[in-house]
Amino acid sequence: MTTFGTRLEHAFNTFGQLCVGIDPHPDVLSDWGLPDDARGLRECGMRVVEASAGRAGIVKPQVACFERHGVAGLQVLAEVIAAAKSAGLLVIADAKRGDIGSTMEAYAEAWLNPQRDFGVDALTVSPFLGFATLQPAVQAAAQYEAGLFVLALTSNAEGQQVQLARDEDGQTVAGRIVRSVAASNAAAADQGKMGSIGLVVGATTAHLAEQNGIDLVAGSPPLLAPGYGAQGATAQSIRSGFGAAWGQVLVNSSRAILAAGPETHGLVSNIEQARTDLQ
């Protein structure tokens, strides 16, 4: 195994910076003519994996879409994760976990240990109980050569009420999170490599980093950017918004790609179009 940052760089060099979202929302299943149950989830997830393999380097299952179906849905999630890994795809679980102490340790073990049912390459996590609460996950990521994507500047408007709030020193919450991530990646950055601890920065909110004096380049964190396509961000606006950090950006597309289902050839076409657009 190699570090997640190294594996992600290889995926970028081989397939580009597209991340395909696996989001089997009820309306997607309905549009695809699939039942809103475990069978529908499995069919949707496996078709996206099939279409992505050899064309994109990374997929991102939205855990909530599977979790809403209880035990059966989580069983399907484990199957989709296993299929994606077998197909050579990096898998990011979009679960946004965040807690303290032994609870955070348990989340990290469940999602980052490759021997577990949900073992993935990287996990989205929330730092809003304090970045220090994520240390069990940071340590597990190092132990298992996995990655994290820490929420920083999310695309929802109300997120800015918290993320751009300033403390008595005039520092934004997001700025402190970004600096903590940079420090976690210091060793990799010193070697000229991409870090394994990344950030979630919305494609439609990336411009707020520069406006608020937040350095997204420091520490070379991978930057997971939702919002491309259906939420209005274009390849040009993402490049402009991230500026010098563009080379670190992993651009997620979910609805815009899934809209071409259920036929695999339609998904393939949209994946290839998005990949070309981003290049």
Q: The tokens 């259920």 sit on which residue? A: 262
Q: The tokens 């950017």 sit on which residue? A: 225
Helix, strand, coil content of the chain in percent (nearest 5) = 50, 15, 35
Alpha carbon distance, N-terminus to C-terminus of the chain? 28
Among 60, 85, 96, 193, the active-site one is 96
How many Å is the Cα radius of gyration of the chain? 18
Q: The tokens 């707020």 sit on which residue? A: 208
CB atoms within 10 A of CB 124: 23
Kind and range of the H or E run holding 60: strand 58-61
Strand partners, 62: 94
Whole-Å CA distances, 218 to 92, 179, 181, 214, 221: 22, 8, 9, 9, 7
96 is catalytic: yes
Q: Which residues are catalytic?
A: 96
